[in-house]
Amino acid sequence: MTSVVLITGAATGIGNLTARALAAAGHTVYASMLDVAGRSREHARELEDTAKSEGWDLRVVELDVQSQRSAETAVATVLDERGRLDTVVHNAGHLYIGYVEAFTPADVQRLFDINTVGIQRVNRAVLPHMRHNHGGTLLYVGSTTSVVLPPFLGPYVASKIAADALAQATAYEVGQFGIETTIVMPGPFTQGTDHFPNASRAGDEQRSHAYAALDDLVASLGGAVEALFSTDAHPRAVADEIVRILALPPGTRPFRSVVDFTDAGVEQVNDVLFEAQRRFNNRLGFGDLMPNWA
- Bridge partners of residue 152, in order along the sequence: none
As a whole-number percent, the residues of the chain with pLDDT over 70 amount to 97
pLDDT digits 0-9 by tens, 102-126: 999 999 999 999 999 999 999 999 9
pTM of this structure: 0.95
Residue 131 and residue 179 in contact, taking contact as beta carbons nearer than 8 Å? yes
293 pLDDT higher than 90 = no
pLDDT digits 0-9 by tens, 247-261: 999 999 999 999 999
Q: What pLDDT is stored for residue 44 in this prediction? A: 93
pLDDT digits 0-9 by tens, 10-35: 999 999 999 999 999 999 999 999 98
Q: What pLDDT is stored for residue 261 in this prediction? A: 92
Question: Would you list the DSSP string of 145-208?
Answer: GGTS--TT-HHHHHHHHHHHHHHHHHHHHHGGGTEEEEEEEE---SSSSSTTTT-B--S-HHHH
Closest CA to 133 of 179, 176, 180: 179
Cα dihedral value 33, 34, 38, 41, nearest 10: -10
Quote the mean pLDDT of the chain: 94
> Sorting pLDDT into bands at 50, 70 and 90, what band is 294?
low
Range picked from 123-132, 147-156, 228-237 for highest mean pLDDT: 123-132
Q: Where are the domains of the chain?
A: 4-289
Q: What pLDDT is stored for residue 190 in this prediction? A: 76
Report the distance separating Cα 126 and Cα 132, nearest Å: 10
| CATH architecture group of domain 4-289 | 3-Layer(aba) Sandwich (3.40)
Q: What pLDDT is stored for residue 222 in this prediction? A: 80
Over its C-alpha atoms, the chain yields an Rg (Å, rounded) of 19
Q: What pLDDT is stored for residue 159 in this prediction? A: 97
pLDDT digits 0-9 by tens, 212-233: 999 999 988 888 888 888 777 8
Cβ-in-10-Å burial (0-12, 13-18, 19+) of 240 comes to middle
Q: In the annotation, is 156 catalytic?
A: yes
> Sorting pLDDT into bands at 50, 70 and 90, what band is 197?
low
128 pLDDT higher than 90 = yes
pLDDT digits 0-9 by tens, 169-195: 999 999 999 999 999 999 988 776 666
Cβ partners under 8 Å of residue 206, min gap 6: none
Report the distance separating Cα 24 and Cα 163, nearest Å: 29
pLDDT digits 0-9 by tens, 52-81: 999 999 999 999 999 999 999 999 999 999
199 pLDDT higher than 80 = no
> How far apart, in Å, are the Cα atoms of 201 and each of 103, 204, 253, 263?
8, 9, 37, 28
Burial 17-29 (b: 16+ CB within 10 A, else e): bbbbbbbbbebbb
Among residues 96, 99, 140, 156, the one annotated as catalytic is 156
